[in-house]
C-alpha cells in the first residue's frame, strides 16, 4: 500500500487520531494525470480481456435481507457528500460520525482549499487528510463535525462476485441525489497489488469518490469512471482497501498535503478569464430537468476537455466544449431561453478568436458562468 506521511501539525480541535509517526522521504511523483490514466487504462485492458479476473466465494453465513435501490438510497443519502475545490468536483461519504470522509485521491490531490457539502447543504472546510493510498486512488479527510453525523457501514468486498447487484449514489454539482443501479460485471485483477470492481451501474460526472453498495446497503467500493474506445467502463475500488486506511490514520493539514501532491504543470498559454456573472433571472422558464441537463453536460465536458487542454491538445478541448454547447441547446426546453442565449454567445465569442486555446477558454467561461448561477439558485441565493 502506498501510504505515506507528510510533515505537518494537527489543528482544529482535540477530537483527532493519535499523533503521526515521523515523516518519511517521498520518492519522485509521476504526474497525477499519468498515474490515473495508467490505473484506469490497466483496468480497461482487464475489462477487454487482456488481464485476469477473479471472483470470491460467498460467505456461508446467512445474508441479511436484501434491500431495493430506493431503500438503500433513502437510508444512505444523508451520509453522501459533495467535495468542491478550485477546478475539482467529486463525492465522498462519511465513515465516522465525528467527520471522517472517504473519497478518491484524485479529487483532493493538489487542492489547498476544499469544502464538503453535507446533505443539509451546509458547507464545511476540509481540515486535514487522515490517510491516503495514491496507487489505489483513495483518501480519507476530516471536517469539524458540528454534531454526530450519519455514517455508512463497510461491507466485505472480498465476497463480491460477478452478477451481484450494485447501487451507486453521488451528488454531482449538489443539484440532486443521483442513484443508479446495475450489476458487478467482473472482479478485475489489474496487478497483484490492485483489484477493481467493474460495474454496469453508470456513474454520473462529478460523483467520483461516492459509495457503491451491495444489496444489503453496505459499501463495497468507492466509485471511479473511465471512458475507453467509445464505451463508458465504470469501476469501483474495493472497500477492503479503504478499511486498511481507516486503521492507519496518519494526519496532515490539507495545505501540506496539497503542496506535496500538486502536479508539475507544463507551460500553458497565459489566459485572461472573462466569466460572465448572470442574474438568477437568466434561469427563468427553466425546469429542474433543464438545470440537470446543463449541469451534467457541462461538468462532463469539462472533465473530458480539461485534461486534453492540460496536455496541450487545445483544439480537441475546444471542439468538445463546442459540441457540448450545441447538444445542450437541442435538449433544453423551449422556455429555457436564457442559458440557450448564453451558450450561443459563448460560441459566437469563441468563433471570433484566432487560436484554439483562447477558443477553449471562451467556451469554458460561458460554462463557468452558467454553473455559477445554477449553484447560486440551488443554494437559495436571491440575486
Active centre residues (catalytic): 106, 137, 208
Q: 153: Cβ–Cβ under 8 A, 6 or more apart, which residues?
A: 217, 218, 219
Neighbours of 326 (CB within 10 A): 12
Cα 220 from Cα 158, distance rounded (Å): 9
What is the distance of C-alpha 274 from the center of its chain? Answer: 26
Length of the chain: 383
Strand boundaries in the chain, DSSP class E = 80-85, 88-96, 100-103, 115-117, 123-125, 128-133, 138-142, 165-170, 178-191, 194-199, 211-213, 219-228, 231-238, 252-253
Q: Report which of 77, 41, 73 is spatially closest to residue 167, judged by C-alpha positions.
A: 73
Cα 78 from Cα 100, distance rounded (Å): 14
Task: Tell me how many degrees the CA angle 220-136-143 measures, rounded to the nearest 5.
Answer: 75
- Cell of residue 259, nine digits: 503542496
Amino acid at each position: 500500500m502506498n501510504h505515506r506521511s507528510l510533515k505537518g501539525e494537527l489543528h482544529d480541535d482535540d477530537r483527532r487520531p493519535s499523533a503521526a509517526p515521523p515523516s518519511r522521504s517521498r520518492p519522485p511523483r509521476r504526474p497525477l494525470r499519468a498515474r490515473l490514466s495508467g490505473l484506469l487504462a490497466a483496468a480497461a485492458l482487464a475489462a477487454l480481456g487482456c488481464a485476469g479476473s477473479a471472483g470470491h466465494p460467498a460467505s456461508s453465513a446467512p445474508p441479511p435481507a436484501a434491500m431495493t435501490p430506493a431503500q438503500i438510497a433513502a437510508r444512505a443519502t444523508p451520509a453522501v457528500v459533495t467535495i468542491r475545490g478550485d477546478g475539482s468536483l467529486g463525492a465522498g461519504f462519511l465513515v465516522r460520525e465525528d467527520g471522517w470522509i472517504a473519497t478518491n485521491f484524485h479529487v483532493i490531490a493538489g487542492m489547498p482549499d476544499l469544502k464538503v457539502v453535507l446533505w443539509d447543504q451546509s458547507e464545511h472546510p476540509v481540515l486535514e487528510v487522515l490517510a491516503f493510498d495514491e496507487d489505489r486512488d483513495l483518501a480519507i479527510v476530516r471536517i469539524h463535525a458540528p454534531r454526530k453525523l450519519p455514517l455508512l457501514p463497510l461491507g466485505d468486498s472480498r465476497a463480491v462476485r460477478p452478477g451481484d447487484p450494485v447501487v451507486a449514489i453521488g451528488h454531482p454539482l449538489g443539484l440532486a441525489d443521483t442513484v443508479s443501479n446495475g450489476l458487478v460485471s467482473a472482479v478485475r485483477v489489474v496487478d497483484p497489488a490492485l483489484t477493481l470492481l467493474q460495474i454496469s451501474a453508470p456513474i454520473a460526472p462529478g460523483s467520483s469518490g461516492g459509495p457503491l453498495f451491495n444489496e444489503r446497503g453496505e459499501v463495497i467500493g468507492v466509485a471511479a469512471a473511465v471512458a475507453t474506445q467509445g464505451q463508458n467502463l465504470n469501476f469501483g475500488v474495493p472497500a477492503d482497501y479503504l478499511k486498511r486506511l481507516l486503521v492507519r490514520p496518519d494526519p496532515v493539514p490539507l495545505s501540506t498535503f496539497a503542496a506535496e501532491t500538486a502536479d508539475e504543470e507544463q507551460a500553458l498559454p497565459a489566459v485572461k478569464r472573462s466569466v460572465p456573472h448572470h442574474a438568477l433571472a437568466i434561469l427563468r422558464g427553466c425546469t429542474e430537468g433543464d438545470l440537470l441537463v446543463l449541469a451534467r453536460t457541462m461538468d462532463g465536458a469539462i472533465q473530458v476537455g480539461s485534461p486534453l487542454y492540460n496536455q496541450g491538445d487545445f483544439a480537441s478541448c475546444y471542439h468538445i466544449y463546442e459540441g457540448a454547447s450545441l447538444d445542450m441547446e437541442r435538449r433544453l426546453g423551449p422556455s429555457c431561453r436564457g442559458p440557450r442565449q448564453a451558450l450561443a454567445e459563448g460560441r459566437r465569442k469563441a468563433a471570433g478568436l484566432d487560436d484554439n486555446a483562447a477558443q477553449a477558454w471562451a467556451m469554458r467561461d460561458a460554462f463557468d458562468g452558467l454553473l455559477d448561477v445554477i449553484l447560486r439558485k440551488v443554494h437559495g441565493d436571491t440575486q
